[in-house]
């Protein structure tokens, strides 16, 4: 069994910041000790990694990615191979991606298809949520079997009628099933029926630019759907996780539910914290790069998102990584914003952007780790294997340089997409070394990982309930 010692760093978890050394044996963390004690590990070590002047943090857990996702007649441009490699470069060592139930098909078909795409391809560990796009008696029964296989969360859409959309009856039934089998219901909360009316009206009036994507997806239609999802989950007695929250009015709904003591949780994404409607309104169709749903909001919404990240009314920051190239893919919507494939790349940038939030004074270092690693691991049943540095945990560890300056750019990123949503943004802090289950996969600008190293993770049920 290989032995690695990480020496001289500041170990940061969601609860502690300690000067300590870490002993990795094989794939797991064996011990954490004060440097004087840890000295005795060095003679027997195969590898000693010097972390002096660096943070030693758990690998990131990105609970929301869409590798190779079919959308709007095309596919997200990162495969499981390229996307998980980019994730590793950015300090993320686990993703939870979304398998999709085909309309008219079974959950099993969807899950098998996603295993076929991902198995043997991933550089880092991965799990799946299941998207329910056709809730009926059979799908409800199948949910129990999937939970037993470690697919313990199910996403439904109140948006995208005719594609992924579930009506309130379907949502309620799936939530009742989840209340029974312990699964977590994840919700894309936007009133898609109302939005589609506004889309048709906008197009008929000749409002076809990317910015109209943001204008028709009104913040109140996110708030309304969030409210409805909360009420339905309360009726069903099931916990609820609302994905990609962007509107201040939706945050208010979550805050109220949480103040009532409900098991209601919210996720936001870096794009809602660092980008805004102004990006969607960029001229010459460049706004298409910023089309995602829920949409980027006017910059005033950001203050409420930051506040909620501090009060825990938002508990997780995931990427919703769903890359489409500007050339040829985003361009499908030239002259009709409703045909622009929805999604923004970001799996490689999340850990750095959240560190920038520490530098900017929005959150503490421990909160950074909690939002990016520990809470997503607990939320999605991966803790304590993932999301922390502790004896017995998987040795998914990042040695992070808090002082290195970098400029985010498509010229230097590793995601398989022809633009970076944060192009030209300077950030302080950068990943130096990444271990995935004890194996060094990135070190000092060199990629040492391998497709197929990443293993499918059977997840427990949510470990974050109140
Ligand atoms: O625009 C987005 N978010 N695309 C990915 C699919 C989804 O709704 O999460
Ligand atoms: Zn969504
Ligand atoms: Zn509150
Ligand atoms: Zn998504």
Sign of CA dihedral 4, 9, 14, 15: positive
pLDDT at site 95: 99
Which residue, by CA, sits nearest to atom 2 of ligand 1?
A: 343
- Ligand positioned closest to the Cα atom of 97: 4
Q: Which tens digits make up the pLDDT trace of 7-22?
A: 999 999 999 999 999 9
Dist. CA 181 → ligand 2 center (Å): 23
DSSP state of 121: T
Q: Is the minimum distance from the CB of 227 to ligand 1 under 6 angstroms?
A: no
| pLDDT tens-digit map of 413-466 | 999 999 999 999 999 999 999 999 999 999 999 999 999 999 999 999 999 999
- What SS3 class is residue 23? strand
Cα–ligand 1 centroid distance for 262 (angstroms):
26
Non-local (6+) Cβ contacts of 370 within 8 A are: 14
Among 322, 337, 347, 417, the mutation site with the greatest number of ligand 1 atoms within 8 A of its Cβ is: 322
Whole-number Å distance between alpha carbons of 294 and 217 = 7
Q: What is the reported pLDDT for 436?
A: 98
Q: What is the 3-state secondary structure (H, E, C) of 38-85?
A: HHHHHHHCCEEEECCCCEEEECEEEEEECCCCEECCEECCCCHHHHHH
**Which ligand has an atom closest to residue 260 CA?**
3
Q: Which ligand lies nearest the alpha carbon of 264?
A: 3
Ligand 1 pocket residue status of 342, Cβ below 6 Å: yes
**Is the complex ipTM higher than 0.90?**
yes
pLDDT score for 456: 98
Q: What is the pLDDT of residues 203-231, one digit of tens each?
A: 999 999 999 999 999 999 999 999 999 99
CB 395 within 8 A of CB 435: yes
DSSP 8-state assignment for residue 293? S
Q: How much distance in Å is there from the Cα of 338 to the middle of ligand 1?
A: 14
DSSP state letter for 276: -
Ligand 1 center to residue 155 CA distance, Å? 11
Specify the pairing of strand 153-157 against strand 125-131: parallel
Mapping DSSP to helix (H, G, I), strand (E, B) and coil, where does residue 21 land?
strand
Q: How far is the CA of 322 from the centre of ligand 1 (A)?
A: 7
Give the number of the atom of ligand 1 that is nearest the alpha carbon of residue 293: 1
Share of the chain above pLDDT 90, in %: 100
Residues 331 and 111: their CA atoms lie apart, in Å, by: 30
CA–CA distance, 40 with 273 (Å, rounded to integer):
45
CA dist 182 and 153 (Å) reads 9
Query: What fold is seen in the domain 60-379?
Result: TIM Barrel (3.20.20)
Which one, of 9, 7, 4, lies nearest residue 402 by Cα? 9
212 close to ligand 1 (CB < 6 Angstrom): no
Question: Considering the chain, what is the average pLDDT of its residues?
Answer: 98
CA of 252 to the centre of ligand 3 (A): 9
> Among 105, 97, 98, which Cα is nearest to 134's?
105
Is the CB of 292 inside a 6 Å radius of any atom of ligand 1? yes
Summarised one tens digit per residue, pLDDT across range 258-284 is 999 999 999 999 999 999 999 999 999
Contact 12, 55 (CB under 8 A): yes
- Residue 261 sits at φ, ψ, to 5 deg, of 85, 15
Write down the pLDDT at residue 219.
98
Domain ranges of the chain: 60-379
Hey, is 327 helix, strand or coil?
Answer: coil
Q: What is the mean pLDDT of residues 172-190?
A: 98
**Digit-coded pLDDT (tens) for 355-394:** 999 999 999 999 999 999 999 999 999 999 999 999 999 9
Closest CA to 332 of 142, 41, 18, 72: 72
d(CA 464, CA 248): 24
Cβ of 280 less than 6 Å from ligand 1: no
Eight-state DSSP code of residue 456: B
464: nearest Cα among 406, 382, 409: 382
Instruction: Answer yes or no: is the C-beta of 322 below 6 A from any ligand 1 atom.
Output: yes
| CA nearest ligand 1 atom 3, residue | 293
> What are the two backbone dihedrals, phi and then psi, of residue 167, each rounded to the nearest 5 degrees?
-85, 175
Q: What is the pLDDT of residue 431?
A: 98
pLDDT one-digit tens code per residue, 27-57: 999 999 999 999 999 999 999 999 999 999 9
pLDDT over 70, % of the chain:
100
- Rounded to 5°, the CA angle 241-427-281 comes to 65
Ligand 1: centre distance to CA 425 (Å)? 23
3-state per-residue secondary structure call for 306-319 = HHHHHHCCCCEECC
pLDDT at site 271: 99
Ligand 2 geometric centre to CA of 243 (Å): 7
pLDDT bucket at 233, cuts 50 / 70 / 90: very high
Sheet (strand 55-58) strand order: 17-19, 10-12, 55-58, 397-407, 426-436, 439-443, 446-447
Taking the C-alpha atoms of residue 128 and residue 111, their distance in angstroms, rounded to an integer, is 8
Distance between Cα 426 and ligand 4 center (Å): 26
- Per-residue buried b or exposed e for 412-448, using 16+ beta carbons within 10 Å of the residue's own CB: ebbbbbbbbbbeebebbbbbbbbbbbbbbbbeeeeee
Distance 341 CA to ligand 1 centre (A): 9
State pLDDT tens for residues 77-127. Answer: 999 999 999 999 999 999 999 999 999 999 999 999 999 999 999 999 999
Q: How far apart are the first and last CA of the chain?
A: 39
Give the residue, by CA position, lying nearest to ligand 1 atom 4.
Answer: 343
Q: Which residue, 263, 234, 238, 266, is CA-closest to 250?
A: 266
Angstrom distance (rounded) from CA 376 to CA 241? 11
Give this prediction's pTM: 0.98
Residues 369, 448 contacting (CB under 8 angstroms): no
The reported pLDDT for the residue numbered 249 is 98
Question: 320 CB under 6 A from ligand 1?
Answer: yes
Choose one of 343, 344, 345, 421 to mutate for the ligand 1 pocket test, by most ligand atoms within 8 angstroms of C-beta: 343
Question: How much is the pLDDT for 353?
Answer: 99
What does DSSP say about strands 47-50 and 3-7: parallel, antiparallel, or unpaired? parallel
For ligand 1, atom 9, name the residue with the nearest CA: 320
Asked whether 140 and 175 are in contact (CB, 8 A), the reply is no
The response to whether residue 97 sits with its C-beta less than 6 Å from ligand 1 reads no
248 pLDDT tier (thresholds 50, 70, 90): very high
Closest to 424 in 3D by CA, of 234, 245, 289, 252: 289
């Amino acid at each position: 069994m290989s032995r690695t010692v990480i020496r001289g760093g500041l170990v940061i978890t969601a609860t502690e910041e300690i000067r300590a050394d870490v002993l990795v044996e094989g794939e797991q963390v064996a011990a954490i000790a004060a440097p004087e004690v840890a000295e005795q590990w060095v003679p027997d070590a195969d590898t000693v990694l010097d972390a002096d002047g660096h943070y030693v943090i758990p690998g990131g857990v990105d609970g929301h990615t869409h590798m190779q996702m079919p959308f709007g007649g095309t596919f997200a441009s990162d495969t499981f191979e390229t996307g998980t490699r980019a994730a590793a470069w950015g300090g993320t060592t686990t993703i939870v991606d979304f398998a999709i139930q085909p309309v008219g098909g079974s959950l099993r078909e969807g899950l098998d298809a996603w295993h076929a795409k991902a198995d043997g391809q991933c550089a880092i560990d991965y799990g799946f949520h299941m998207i329910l796009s056709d809730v009926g008696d059979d799908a409800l029964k199948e949910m129990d079997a999937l939970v037993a296989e470690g697919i313990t969360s199910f996403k439904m859409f109140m948006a995208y009628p005719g594609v992924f959309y579930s009506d309130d009856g379907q949502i309620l039934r799936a939530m009742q099933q989840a209340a029974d089998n312990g699964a977590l219901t994840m919700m894309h909360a936007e009133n898609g029926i109302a939005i589609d009316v506004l889309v048709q009206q906008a197009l008929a009036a000749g409002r076809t630019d990317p910015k109209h994507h943001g204008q028709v997806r009104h913040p109140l239609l996110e708030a309304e759907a969030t409210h409805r999802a909360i009420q339905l989950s309360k009726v069903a007695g099931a916990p609820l996780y609302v994905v990609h929250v962007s509107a201040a009015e939706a945050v208010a709904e979550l805050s109220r539910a949480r103040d009532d003591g409900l098991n209601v949780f919210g996720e936001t994404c870096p794009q809602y914290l660092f980008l805004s409607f102004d990006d969607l309104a960029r001229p010459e169709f460049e706004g298409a790069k910023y089309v995602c749903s829920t949409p980027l909001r006017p910059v005033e919404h950001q203050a409420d998102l930051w506040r909620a990240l501090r009060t825990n009314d938002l508990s997780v920051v995931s990427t919703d990584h769903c890359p489409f190239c500007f050339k040829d893919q985003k361009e499908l919507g030239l002259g009709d914003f409703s045909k622009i494939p929805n999604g923004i790349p970001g799996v490689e940038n999340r850990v750095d952007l959240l560190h920038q939030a520490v530098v900017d004074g929005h959150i503490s270092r421990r909160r950074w780790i909690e939002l990016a690693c520990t809470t997503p691991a607990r939320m999605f049943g991966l803790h304590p294997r993932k999301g922390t540095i502790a004896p017995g945990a998987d040795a998914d560890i990042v040695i992070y340089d808090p002082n290195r300056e970098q400029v985010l750019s498509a010229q230097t990123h590793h995601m398989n997409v022809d633009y970076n949503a944060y192009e030209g943004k300077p950030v302080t802090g950068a990943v130096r070394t990444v271990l995935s289950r004890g194996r060094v996969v990135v070190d000092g600008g060199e990629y040492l990982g391998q497709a197929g190293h990443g293993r499918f993770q059977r997840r427990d049920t949510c470990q974050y309930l109140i």
